[in-house]
Amino acid sequence: MELVLAGHSYSDIVENTRCSRRDISAAKKTITSHQITPARLAVMTDVDLRVLFPDGRARISDEYEQPEFGRVLQSMKSNQHFTLQQPPRITKLVSVR
């Protein structure tokens, strides 16, 4: 944001920060819409910036349902299944004549 406020070009900012043009555009729009000045940017905290640029990860984490590990463990104990790490059980068929 400092580089945008200083008037640097998109190409200069991309080269120096390795961020995308889309991110620069989002920062520029936020600076304009919230009337952020260099002085105001200097006193902003990380929390202030997170409010301005929400990334959606917290929302996705809130929607995640925790598994019921007790039920999962019980199911794994009672329903043993074949995996590639287990050798197959070979049973011999005995024919009765």
The confidence score (pLDDT) of residue 61 equals: 63
CA angle 73, 79, 82 (to 5 degrees): 110
Q: Which residue has the higher pLDDT, 56 or 20?
A: 20
Please, what's the b/e burial string for 49-73 (b: 16 or more CB within 10 A of its CB; e: otherwise)? eeebeeeeeeeeeeeeeeeeeeeee
Residues 27-76 pLDDT 10s = 999 999 999 999 999 999 988 988 888 776 656 666 677 778 888 778 77
CA angle 56, 28, 17 (to 5 degrees): 80
- Taking the C-alpha atoms of residue 17 and residue 13, their distance in angstroms, rounded to an integer, is 6
The confidence score (pLDDT) of residue 88 equals: 55
CA angle 30, 31, 33 (to 5 degrees): 60
Residues 3-18 pLDDT 10s = 999 999 999 999 999 8
Instruction: Domain ranges for the chain, please list them.
Output: 2-51
The residue-averaged pLDDT of 66-91 equals 69
- Taking the C-alpha atoms of residue 39 and residue 42, their distance in angstroms, rounded to an integer, is 5
